[in-house]
Structure formats: C-alpha cells, structure tokens
C-alpha cells in the first residue's frame, strides 16, 4: 500500500479553499486473494470475453448442497466414488441443477500454517469433475485454495470447468458449519473489477422466519481467512430463492476479527 496522494498534495489543487485536503491510498493485490471466484478466462485462454465483470448477476443466487470430503488425504485426487459416497452420507439424492456444490476438505483448518494451507489439500479428479458438471452444477466451491490436487499439474478440474464454461470458487471457509447438507441457497457476490480473473466475494444477510436476530436476518460467514481484502459468502436457509430475493439486504463484513 502506498500514498497515492497526500493531504498536502491534494491541497495544491484546492486553491484558497478552507478544506484541508484529502488523502488517497494506493493498493496492489492479487485478484485471487482470499475467498474468490475463478472467472472462465482464468482457466480458458480462448475466452477473454469471460472475465469476472461479465458474470451474470442472476447466477449469484442459487440452490446449493454441501458434502464432506475431509477423509480425502492431502495431495490426492478425489474420485467419483468418493463424491457419491459423501453424497450418500449426506442423504443428497441429486445435485442441484443450475445450483452450486460446496465440498469440505478440512484444508481451511491449516490457515495459520501457510505452507500447509497452500500445498496440502486434495482436489477433484477428471471423472468426478465431469460428472458433477454433467449434473448441471453452475458453481463448485471448496475450502481449499484450489479445486485441483496440487500434485497433479494436469489440473483436471480446471480443464473440465474450462470445457464446460463453469465458474468455481476457492478458499471458502466454514462450509462444515452449514447446518444442513441440502435445501438451502447461497448468494455469491463477486467484487466486479474490470477484466479481473478472480476477485474476492462479499456476503449477504437474508431474512428467515425463525431468525433470532433483531432485524430478522441471519448468515453463516464463509470467510476466506485473509485479514485484508477478505472475501466472504453466506449460506442462507430459505428453500426458495424468491424468498431470498424479496427479503435480503447487503451487509458487507468489516469486522477485522472475522
């Protein structure tokens, strides 16, 4: 971060104004910082038209399901059999067509161990990736920093998403705290940066009838653990997206302790 303009510099353009000036900071960061959604162009060099600023807002609201794949060893490839077994354990009969699949690897627990966090996690193999996308899933989310096994430089999941032109979202925390495996909806709101490949995401709070909050809202923070420019999501418990649309209000997280 740097001083793009100081108070003294800004006063040079203010003439005799009584205003004491303003300061502006410059900031530089990777567009894959913290929780982020990969744009199609990130993994498909033939589609420069599909940067994240072209992401359709209607795809931000979708039905979702989550599965527990934390039994997969780090730096291994998750098979279709493992995905289906996790679905059976979660009593998920089908993945939400036009919706999202979140899968928990346990990688987020290594956030305080930087090298382990970025190197030790499993990823979906090609067969599992293709099957998930064939079910009509439009976003795949994981707590790991990548949907691919870091030991496999073939990047099978990224390649499948490039072929199907489907986004995925990485470094999503607290997936395992979602109180139900299916029948909920998510709102995934990428920060729209022109021509960006993977901006952070913000979370929304949505009303629900049985909320214990004074304003009738609740949220489960799915924060990427970065302390600066954090991304986040929220899982919301309404069964029908129409209820979410009608009752939601934007609530950006600013709590540095999150």
Integer angstrom CA distances of residue 87 from 20, 68, 233: 61, 8, 22
**Residue 237 pLDDT:** 33
**Residue 228 pLDDT:** 25
What are 59's two structure tokens?
């795809």
DSSP 102-120: EEE-SGGGGTTSHHHHHH-
Task: Say if residues 67 and 90 touch (Cβ distance below 8 Å).
Answer: yes
DSSP symbol at 228: S
Phi, psi of 25 (to 5 degrees): -95, 145
What domains, with CATH codes, occur in the chain?
1-30 (no CATH), 36-250 (3.50.30.50)
**Residue 85 pLDDT:** 98
**Residue 194 pLDDT:** 54
**d(Cα 38, Cα 188) in Å, to the nearest integer?**
12
Do the bridges between strand 167-170 and strand 139-142 make them parallel or antiparallel, or are there none, so unpaired?
A: parallel
**Residue 256 pLDDT:** 30
| Block residue for tokens 């960006």 | 196
**Residue 193 pLDDT:** 60
3-class SS of residue 20: coil
Point out the residues of the chain with pLDDT beneath 70.
192-258
**d(Cα 36, Cα 171) in Å, to the nearest integer?**
7
Integer angstrom CA distances of residue 169 from 82, 84, 122, 158, 250: 20, 21, 15, 11, 20
**Residue 205 pLDDT:** 35
Task: Say if residues 227 and 196 touch (Cβ distance below 8 Å).
Answer: no
Specify burial of residue 51 (Cβ count, 10 A radius: 0-12, 13-18, 19+).
buried
DSSP symbol at 256: T
CB burial readout 151-181, b (16+ within 10 A) else e? eeeebbbbbbbbebebbbbbbbbbbeebeeb
**d(Cα 1, Cα 234) in Å, to the nearest integer?**
29
**Residue 30 pLDDT:** 77
């Amino acid at each position: 971060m740097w001083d793009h303009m100081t108070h003294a510099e800004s006063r040079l353009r203010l003439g005799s104004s009584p205003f004491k000036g303003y300061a502006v900071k410059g900031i530089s960061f990777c567009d894959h910082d913290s929780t982020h959604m990969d744009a199609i162009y990130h993994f498909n060099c033939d589609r420069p038209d599909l940067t994240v600023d072209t992401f359709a807002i209607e795809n931000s609201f979708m039905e979702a399901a989550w599965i527990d794949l934390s039994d997969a060893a780090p730096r291994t490839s998750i098979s279709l059999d493992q995905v289906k077994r996790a679905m059976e354990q979660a009593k998920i009969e089908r993945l939400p067509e036009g919706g999202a699949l979140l899968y928990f690897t346990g990688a987020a627990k290594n956030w305080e161990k930087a090298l382990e966090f970025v190197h030790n996690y499993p990823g979906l193999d090609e067969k599992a990736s293709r099957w998930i996308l064939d079910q009509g899933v439009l976003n795949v989310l994981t707590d790991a920093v990548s949907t691919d096994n870091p030991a496999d430089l073939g990047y099978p999941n990224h390649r499948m998403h490039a072929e199907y032109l489907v986004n995925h979202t990485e470094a999503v925390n607290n997936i395992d705290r979602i109180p139900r495996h299916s029948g909920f909806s998510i709102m995934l709101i990428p920060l729209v940066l022109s021509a960006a490949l993977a901006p952070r995401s913000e979370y929304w709070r949505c009303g629900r009838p049985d909320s214990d909050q004074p304003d009738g809202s609740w949220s489960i923070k799915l924060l990427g653990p970065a302390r600066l420019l954090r991304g986040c999501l929220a899982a919301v418990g309404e069964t029908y997206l129409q209820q979410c649309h009608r009752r939601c209000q934007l609530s950006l997280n600013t709590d540095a302790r999150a």
